Amino acid sequence: MRIHTFPTPQSIVDPGETVRGRFAVVIDTLRATTVIAAALAAGAERIIPVAEVEEARKVYAGLPEGAALLCGERGGNRIEGFHHGNSPLEFTPEAVRGRTLVMTTTNGTRAILACAGAAKLALGAMVNASAVGRAAGASGMDVAAVCAGTRGFFTLEDVLTAGAILSASGLPEDGMDDLSRLAVDIYRRNAGDLTGALRGCAHARFLAEAGYGKDVEYCMGLDRLDTVPYYAGGEIRLTSN
């Protein structure tokens, strides 16, 4: 069993070797994959992730009236004319039940595209880490954990989440590459105070300063949810099709 963790999608040099045919997990803890897990747990039917704002508007316009919601952020904030931003706290059952969410998220979408050849592609966050880890461990496949990072930068919250997922997976350490081992190690050392572990971290600090401190706390809450979202054929659902 081989288990690789990538600090960013850009750092996948040979996807044919390290992603194709595997159980891949895309991780964008602050906040895209947390939002995805929360929205599906709240009853959203599916999520269509797209890279660009204009593309999101087009996809939305093509869906039946009342069936869909436009979601996403730029610079951390809700996009003008969109129903929702990127705060997991907004995605309540009242808001999303039965709906399709058209969501634009730069880092997360890029990470999903980087995993195109995976046999299964799950979306992982701290809020559903153990559920995703168990699914990865039970798959019998090699695993690729792909951290979304921020514009190519390594972000601690995603590596901590990879550690939480791998830690719950039951996968053997001796199949793990260096970053997988490091992720498990720093997750275990910080499990008692995951929000505190982000002190000084660039993206958590940015969000707190922009008024989203409560989001950061929510996003670092281990195993709030038991949902495992899967991406397949352009959309994200709770089942893996």
Maximum Cα–Cα distance for the chain, whole Å?
52
Question: Minimum distance from CB of 201 to a second copy (Å)?
Answer: 5
- 55 in Cβ contact with 104 (< 8 Å): yes
- Residue 13 or 241 with smaller CB distance to a second copy: 13
- 37 in Cβ contact with 126 (< 8 Å): no
Question: Minimum distance from CB of 32 to a second copy (Å)?
Answer: 17
Per-position x/- string for 128-157, each x denoting binding to a second copy as judged by CB under 8 A, each - no binding: -----------------------xxxxxx-
Question: Minimum distance from CB of 154 to a second copy (Å)?
Answer: 4
Alpha-carbon distance of 216 to 205, in angstroms, equals 9
Tell me: does residue 191 bind a second copy (CB under 8 A). no
Question: Minimum distance from CB of 153 to a second copy (Å)?
Answer: 6
Tell me: does residue 89 bind a second copy (CB under 8 A). no
Distances in Å between the Cα of 98 and the Cα atoms of 76, 220, 230, 236 are 26, 26, 17, 14
> Sheet harboring 230-232: ordered strands across?
3-6, 143-147, 23-27, 120-124, 230-232, 235-237, 46-50, 100-104, 68-74, 77-78
- Residue 130 or 155 with smaller CB distance to a second copy: 155
Tell me: does residue 238 bind a second copy (CB under 8 A). no
Alpha-carbon distance of 9 to 234, in angstroms, equals 18
Q: 198 to 227, contacts with a second copy by CB under 8 A?
A: 200-203
- Residue 68 or 184 with smaller CB distance to a second copy: 184
- Residue 58 or 199 with smaller CB distance to a second copy: 199
Radius of gyration of the chain from its Cα atoms, rounded to whole angstroms: 16
| Residues making contact with a second copy (CB under 8 A) | 4-8, 10-14, 151-156, 159, 173-174, 177-179, 181-182, 186, 200-203
